[in-house]
Structures are given as structure tokens and as C-alpha cells.
Amino acid sequence: MLMVGMISVSALAAVGMSMQFMMVINVLMTLYVVGGNALISRFIGQGRKKRASSLLYSLIIVASILSIFVTIGGYFGSKYLYIIMGAQGDVVELGALYFKVLSLGIVVIFIDTLLYNALSAAGDTKNSLYIKLISAVINAALNYVFIFGHYGFDAMGIEGAAYATLIAYCFNIIAYYILLKKPYSKLNIIPIIRTKDIIRVWHVGWSAALERGISSISFLFFVSIIAAYGTAELAGYQVGLRIEGIAFMPGFGFAIAATALVGQSLGANNREKAYNMGIISGRVAYIFMGFVGFFLITFPEFLVGFFTQDAQTVAVASYYLIFVGLAQIPLAIMFVYSGALRGAGATKITLKISVASLWIFRVIPSYIAYKMGYGIVAIFIIMNVETLIKGLIYVYIYKKRKWLETKI
């Protein structure tokens, strides 16, 4: 995003908007990732590594098949996706170029996501850390070469960013394959297909996928409302979202911890430990994210300045960061407790909370505010209020403990 921002504000908006489309694509990944996480963590908790490894093999096949449909749709329909979202002409053209290339590598993105989550569910996050660190260096270096045209390469602009991303994902797959072949790995790839286990994954995954699907559509509506304000507002939102994405990391990390530890504890038939794992993960997450939120509130323009110098874009992104900085603690609670519920397989509960909260407290109020002529700041305030309400709902549901009785 830093390098793309040097091309133009339109390029920045185009790449940022493509991430919203990836949220929709994540719906299909959720079908096998969330259910796979819940089942793999329980198998590991029961000491059944071979069963977990055979499930991983089955899910790799499922992921590969699903990726074919996304590749076809993304390659031939990328331009229409941007048009539907209400993007302006130059954003549509640049975005279509970027997303068309990205679509060709959906299979490696799908498998990478599966392997990362499966190893996390089994309790191995360190090897993924090392793989992703090397991958990030490869991605950044290739961005520099491909986007701007260094070391004898032609300057490919936004297309170069897409090629760099796919090459980095290919590295991930090779690294994970080598890791999974090692006997000491927490998971291996055992070529056994158990239809019963795939069905169990489906029973957990469909409601999580439906939740992700409706949430993604909700976010697309939300982004289209912001896009209606103009390209600078859209770019400012996307820049703010990327910076906030860094702030998300403690929440994501401890949500993964809660998912794995809750699932493993339930697999070992220890409900009290499962409950406490979520509580501990939540406390650590909101302490970390609270500090990050303070930084976002205090230095918004400094952070945005790394991405763009466009005055209007900087102003919008700075407002966004100030407001989301205030919401980091309820956001941390939402991340971790929803992760804990998914680790237990209670995806129907997260589905109901997510759908009701996003539409009732975010999308509909934002649309009304836009139609009534309120500025972009009003939209950011509504977004924060929705986050706070959702966090409170998760606290209430979590402490009732009924989710601990979920059967897979």
C-alpha cells in the first residue's frame, strides 16, 4: 500500500477496495477453515494427530476445488465488481488490472490460509511466523522491483503489486509443504479421506461461512456508502483500514490462541479450562490493543503520512484512526470471544450476533446518515458505536457459558 500510494490516490483506492472483495472470497475459505480449526484442535486435544493430519489432506482437496470457481469469476468479472461498488472510472480500470492478476493465484491463497489456520489450531504458530516473515520480505522486495521497474524489469505499476503477492504466496506453500513432511511437525499430510470428518467440518463451517458472507456483503454496502462521498474519502478510509490492520494484530493473534486453546481444552473434556483460556486471551488482547489505540489517537497524521500526502485523504484517514483508536478495547473483546466460540464450534451464535449488529447498528444507520447529508465523520462515529455494542453482546454471551456445550 505504501508503494502503490506513490503511483496515485486512485491506485491506492483500487488496491484497498480489492481487499473488500477478498473478504467476500473469504466466505468460501470459511467453509473449510473454521470447521477444520474446530475439529483439528479437538483431535489434537484428544491426542489423535493422525486423524487431524488426514483431515488436513481432505481439506486441501476441498480448498483446491473451491478455488477454481473463484478464479474464473474473479478473472472475468473483476471490472464489474468495481463498477457495482460505485468506484469511479480510473479506480475501476486500475482495480480490474490488479484483481484479474490476483485471481489467477487464488488456489495458492486458499491453500496457504488453510495450512496457516490448521497449524495454528494444532498449536504451532511459531513456524508460521518464520514463514510469513520471509514471505513479507520477498513480497516487499518484489513490489519494489515490479511496481517501479528496477533491475532490468519494466515498471508494471499496480499489476506488479499483484504478481509480487502471488509469488510470495507460492513461497508460503513450498515452505509449508517442507514443514508438514517433517515427522516432528504438529501436523503432517496423510492421504486418507474420511467423508464423515468432512461432513462434520461442513456442519460447523456453513454457519461461519454464512456469517462471513453476510458480513462481507454488509461491509461492501458500507464501503459503497463511503465511496459515494468521493475518491479521496474512499482512499482515506482504505489507508486508515490498513493502518488499523496493524493495530488488529494483537487481537487476531490472541483470537487464534483462544480458538486453538478452547478447542483443545474441549477435546480434552475440560470445560472450565476452555472458558478460562478465552478470558485470559481477552485480557491480554485488550491491554495490547488499548495501548495501540492510544497511539492511533495521538499520532494519526504521522501514520497516514507514510501512505499519501494528499491533504484531503490525510484528513479523512486521520479522522478514521482517531475514532477507531477509541474502539480498540471492545474490538479486542469481540475478536477473542468470537474466536473462542468458533473454536468450540458455536458458529451459529457468532452468525446471529454479526448479522444483527452489522445491519441494525452500522449499515442502515450509515445509509440514513449519508442520505441526510451528514459528512464522513458521522459514518465513522456510527461504525464505532456498532463495535461497542457488538463487544458488549459478546461479553454477555460468553459469560453465560452455554456455548461450552456445543457438539461437533
What value does the mean pLDDT of the chain take?
85
Give the highest mean pLDDT range of 39-48, 150-159, 163-172, 200-209: 163-172
User: Is the CB of residue 306 less than 8 Å from the CB of residue 323?
Assistant: no
Determine if residue 397 is left, alpha or beta; phi over 0 gives left, psi from -120 to 50 gives alpha, anything else beta: alpha
pLDDT reading at 407 higher than 90: no
Mean pLDDT, range 315-341, rounded to an integer: 88
Lowest mean pLDDT among 87-91, 240-244, 291-295, 317-321: 87-91
Q: What is the mean pLDDT of residues 235-264?
A: 83
Task: Give CA–CA dist 260/42, Å, rounded.
Answer: 9
Q: C-alpha cell of 85?
A: 461498488
- Average confidence (pLDDT) over 281-309: 86
Average pLDDT over residues 216-245: 80
172 pLDDT band (50/70/90 cuts)? very high
Is 80 a residue whose pLDDT tops 80? no
Which has the higher per-residue pLDDT, 214 or 23? Answer: 214
State residue 87's pLDDT score. 64
Residue ranges covered by each domain of the chain: 1-203, 229-408
For the ranges 50-59, 107-116, 202-211, 319-328, which has the lowest average pLDDT?
202-211
Q: What pLDDT does 115 receive?
A: 93
